[in-house]
Chain A
Amino acid sequence: MRKKRQLLKAFLPVLIIILLLNVFPITSFADDNADQSGIIVSMGDSYSSGEGVEPFYGEDEDISERVKNADWLAHRSEQAWSGQLTLPGVGVLNNYRYGSKDVTDPKWYFVASSGAKVDDLFGKQNKPYSRSGYYGKKYLPAQIDVFDILEDTPEYITLSIGGNDADFGGIIKEAICTTYFTPCRLSDKLNDVWNEFYMVGGIREKLINAYETLDRKTDSRSTIIVVGYPQLLNSEGGLLGIFSAEEAAMINDSVTIFNQAIEMIVDECRTTKNINIVFVSVEEAFRGHGAYSSNPYIREIVPLPQSQDLFDHPSDKQFVSAYSLHPNEKGIEAYRQCVQNKIDELEAVRGTRSAENTNVPNDATEAFIDFLRDGYEGADDYYNDLPIHFDKQNNSNGDIWMTYAIDDFDSDGQKELIIYKSFFEREYTTDVLHGLFFYKYKNNSVELVHYAYFLEEMVLNPGFLIFYDNGQVYMENELKSLTVFVFNEKIRQKFKLNEGDRIIYSVNNYDDMSIRRSVGGAYAYDTSEVISNESYQEETDFLFSGTMLDTTMHPVNKAELW
């Protein structure tokens, strides 16, 4: 009997899901997806290409081939933030890069290039190189040529451009060489840049033309996401031999003003020219994390050429590595999160409008719940009397959310702990195993968005709700870390978590896929650095303190909850 019960337990959800698929056939989504290509084009300069974060595409090739490889010459990083974006129904983009050997249905067209100026979006970019005895120059194709090879309209075009037109590199060069010799040189250089910005045919006009041209290359289904730049330097102390604090502040201020100017242009293009374009600022995400800060998101100045620089010796044109003052791995993650948040936000808006257009019947969720209950109860009479909870709620975007909670699989009749209160204010109780599923109903279809299990240890060590990352299955002996939702403010404060931090619950011991009761530790990672390692034993109710949005199966975006 016990065996039968376990078997049924195992297959019950499968049965339910299979039944679900029959009632909500896949074909019903075909029309809804017809105008959604899932394609992203990533254009722009080094802040999009991932300059400074190895490996770069093509770097494994022999140098004789490498210098002919546009990906390597452009320093397109395999770690670039743009490739780590996710789109609903697509997943992580760098699995779908155009040009990769195994990709037959490309979704990500990565043409950003280190050193690119606005003109290089529309004309060939000259890339000189001199490495290991190979020297010369190669012209990279105009980035806009990518639209000639697209098989469908892109959903998003991400773009960081203008920094090289504003000569960030030259500004840095002015600052690090000759402060004492020419105290006004940096001011002169910055003012020269700003004159260039406003002049007829200057940077400002180039940016407007660029956005307009991109708009003409697409249609209204594409959103252009213009990404700004971070403040580069630690503004608190300067760096004795290179920058004064005043110079650092001057450079940072100019970056901020430059971002504001770009944002204003974007705003103007959207409101007066009807271009589907938005701006994403990264400044806040980088605040306090400039180069030479205690926790930098930006590389410091690297004085000598690095292993993948296009030059293997310093020169007057490039006397520091191109890696200098570009986002490091943490910076890449900060960029990714800022842009991903914007995409999620846009997707949510689109979802709302979609839902409004489809006239979801009022009784749709009721019908679904009835069906699910029937399927569940029909699986085995033995379980008919076990508690199962359904609930629904419309969030602020108009999506209908439903939860389906399995309670007390191994009920011994004792309600030992309150696990959490959901946003429906319902208390779920259990003593051993508890499953919770979040479904979204839209366009006459049901989508399972999140699911979670509360294992015994989760109950005894509350504070976490574990989601198996992207549905990935962790087999025995592979259970090393899991992505964790942190639900309440108290925990956030306890571990000093900030927006964008990646939270990993490390499992020290595991046995037969169960996390041992003894495990109560939590590791709060700031990307890779452990910033907190504390035992957490308090029994605190979980609370959804925010409204669940139209999230995809990506690691937690805490802003959606808090």
Chain B
Amino acid sequence: MNRIVIIFLISICSLIIISSCSMKGARNQNLVNDNINNTSDISRDTKYSVSYPNVERYFNDNSSIVSVIRVQDSDNTLSESDAMQLFKDRGFTGYPVTTEYSINGEFNEATEIISSSSSKHPIYQSFYVNSSNELWTILVIDGVIMASPITFNIQHSDHVPVVVSESKEIVSYDSSTNSFYRTIPNESIMDVRIYSQIDSSLLDSLTVEVLINA
């Protein structure tokens, strides 16, 4: 019991002392901290930039390449007007359709496209939330529509991502060469589900259970 008393009393007294006698030194009027390490990886005059992946190698490693075509040589690239109509016809009207690339391959912040524009872009993107509250992204690349269940893929990130397509061929866009790649992805990189037509009705039917069991 004596220990309780000792500890209690000394603790209380310590608190009193500490609370009443707490002190700090006078202010450092002009603090100079020597502990900050300068880094040499980036300097004021050296602008950092990120290198680009070797896309050809990437697709060689992960797919069978069907064809590669420069954007300017493709006849399938849609104008903003055509893309808007495509998304509308498929029932994807709830979210803006955006693009980030010019026809020359320049990257910009995502810009909402307008139905009156005849400007062409290599890739368009929109989103769709189906009746199960699952978020999908809808992509149109070189005029080909594809969809990817974002929520599902994140939740099942230990498996290869699911992609819904109207063909076994997937179209990709390489901005570093401003080219389209048509490929058949390896099963180890992508789980391609093929349906005759991608539209809102289809995506509504593709619940988590369906995607898992398909």
Contact = CB atoms under 8 A, between A and B. Distances in A.
Interface in B116-165: 123, 125-127, 129, 133, 135, 137, 139, 141, 146, 148, 150-151, 153-161, 163
Given A20-B17, A267-B36, A553-B18, A513 B4 contact: yes
A221 B50 contact: no
B67 interface: no
A268 B44 CA distance: 10
A85 B17 CA distance: 21
A191 B26 contact: no
Given A21-B17, A241-B158, A276-B31, A350 B25 contact: yes
A279 B135 CA distance: 39
Contacts of A315: 95, 127, 129, 135
A242 B149 CA distance: 12
Given A191-B49, A220-B30, A264-B44, A354 B24 contact: yes
A395 to B, nearest CB: 14
B151 A351 contact: no
Nearest to A195: B47
B86 interface: no
Given A241-B161, A345-B35, A183 B55 contact: yes
Kindly name the residue among A316, A433, A455 whose own CB sees the greatest number of chain B CB atoms within 10 A: A316
Contact of B28 (A184, A240, A350): A350
A178 B24 contact: no
Contacts of A352: 25
B200 to A, nearest CB: 15
B39 A346 contact: no
Nearest to B43: A264
Contacts of B8: 473, 475
A346 B31 contact: yes
Interface string A379-403: 0000000000000000000000000
Contact of B154 (A180, A254, A301, A448): A301
A353 B133 contact: no
Contact of B41 (A240, A257, A355): A257
A453 B139 contact: no
Kindly name the residue among B1, B6, B38, B127 whose own CB sees the greatest number of chain A CB atoms within 10 A: B6
A253 B48 CA distance: 11
A191 to B, nearest CB: 5
B133 A242 contact: no
Contact of B10 (A6, A13, A270): A13
Interface residues of B, number: 93
Contact of A263 (B19, B39, B51, B146): B39
Contacts of A198: 47
A476 interface: yes
Kindly name the residue among A18, A180, A304 whose own CB sees the greatest number of chain B CB atoms within 10 A: A180
Contact of A349 (B13, B28, B107, B109): B28
A344 to B, nearest CB: 11
Interface in B1-33: 1-33
Interface stretch (A47-55, A116-124, A439-447, A528-536): A439-447
B141 A183 contact: no
Contact of B15 (A13, A357, A471): A471
B185 A11 contact: no
A32 B8 CA distance: 30
A191 B52 CA distance: 10
A269 to B, nearest CB: 11
Contacts of B81: none
Given A10-B6, A181-B170, A349-B28, A473 B12 contact: yes
A146 interface: no
Contacts of B69: none
Interface in B159-194: 159-161, 163, 170-176, 185, 189-190
Nearest to B181: A183
A242 to B, nearest CB: 5
Nearest to A451: B14
Contacts of B52: 184, 187
Kindly state the interface size class of chain A when it binds its partner. 35 or more
A139 interface: no
B150 A177 contact: yes
Nearest to B42: A260
B150 A9 contact: no
Contacts of B35: 345
B14 to A, nearest CB: 5
A493 interface: no
Nearest to A242: B157
A355 B25 contact: yes
A188 interface: yes
B9 A192 contact: no
B21 A11 contact: no
Contacts of B33: 270, 278, 346, 349
A250 interface: yes
Contact of B11 (A246, A253, A471): A471
A47 B92 CA distance: 35
A241 B153 contact: yes
A472 B18 CA distance: 12
Kindly name the residue among B31, B41, B49, B189 whose own CB sees the greatest number of chain A CB atoms within 10 A: B31
A263 B33 CA distance: 13
B82 interface: no
B36 A266 contact: yes
Nearest to B137: A177
A221 B27 contact: yes
A347 interface: yes
Contacts of B1: 512-513
Interface in A466-517: 468, 471-473, 475-476, 512-514
A14 interface: yes
A401 B3 CA distance: 26
A378 interface: no
Interface of B: 1-33, 35-39, 41-44, 47-53, 55, 58-59, 62, 95-96, 100, 107-109, 123, 125-127, 129, 133, 135, 137, 139, 141, 146, 148, 150-151, 153-161, 163, 170-176, 185, 189-190
Given A24-B21, A316-B96, A351-B25, 16 more contacts: A10-B9, A13-B10, A17-B13, A29-B21, A29-B23, A177-B148, A186-B50, A192-B108, A303-B151, A303-B154, A303-B155, A315-B95, A352-B25, A443-B25, A451-B14, A512-B3
10 contacts: A88-B24, A176-B150, A176-B154, A178-B137, A181-B146, A183-B58, A192-B108, A313-B133, A314-B135, A350-B24
Q: Lowest 10 A-B CB distances belong to which pairs?
A: A354-B25, A89-B22, A188-B107, A303-B154, A351-B25, A316-B127, A10-B5, A350-B25, A260-B39, A241-B157
